[in-house]
Structure 1
């Protein structure tokens, strides 16, 4: 297991109230992408709202209803839209790991989010069993995008994150070695200079380490009956 990299901690912003999150998704048109009426998001948020401090949750839409390719362009940083790297045209085929149990509902809550800064310079191969041992589960790519949509400041230079709960299974049943991540483009290579500082959905190899990528995770996912 690698040593934890020394990372200067910064305060992670508190998630907005669920009602505010619902309005944000409606403003961005996520409900239309998912084929849901705006009233359904508002009703879900109203019932699921938890006023107690420390019990903040992220409102998420299932990835099969709001895929990463549709959500990524809604991200913004320095006035620039988010994008998916050109060599990830199959981004929407990255599905939840078998160990990730998604609620059987179009809307659900993701609780106790952590960006995983303490795992900077770990590989996905090393991070996944460590998260499991801590009774945490890695975020899906779409959940990570939802997080940045609600809290753009969560994506910082040198403090970005992987979302290894989403993996691509190949035709032979083996997992593709790519693991998705969200970070900030430097505007180099195929990204193009015009995309410098834009939010970027890309991938890293399963066995590789990156000093500037943590591993976003949660303690669980749940729904609130209307």
Structure 2
């Protein structure tokens, strides 16, 4: 479907142009992807489950009427996630491992304990109590920490290693499990950090699927930019 200038302007005004163009790109790409009858049926069951609906013809017809669509449109919506997966496997999965290696440092997961206070003197005192075995990290975090980790007894994660502040990420990557680090100053906070565990990302089937989907999304975005530039 080609849009004239007035339609594009109206869609852009209501922030609908980019979503529509993206969906068009996806639809054109995966439109010829074939599903087996079993895959199609499983897709419909999954679609209904996500919406808390039973797979009953009456309910499906009611949904179509309420949303102004035909049964074939409904089946398209249900099958689309599967079509995307199959298309990605065919066109992008061969580059999934390369994508993983490029992204590995961003995919590594870490669990660490954290106490943040604004008083450097208090941070040093708490550090000495923990390192000397006088108090546990969890108890002191619950009592003294001034961030959201207070409610988790100091535990942060699992979370991507790169989501932490760069100085914290550097400590966690270079340290060992169970290592307690001396107070670190990142204004306005004094931080006490202990690495609990580092979980390096592994290229398995789940990761391959994730990287394939990322590559597909990148391709869609590239196609979108071409459409926008050429409008």
What TM-score comes out, normalization by structure 2 length?
Answer: 0.19
What TM-score comes out, normalization by structure 1 length?
Answer: 0.19
Higher helix share: 2
- The answer to which structure, 1 or 2, has the higher relative contact order (CA under 8 A, 6+ apart) is 1
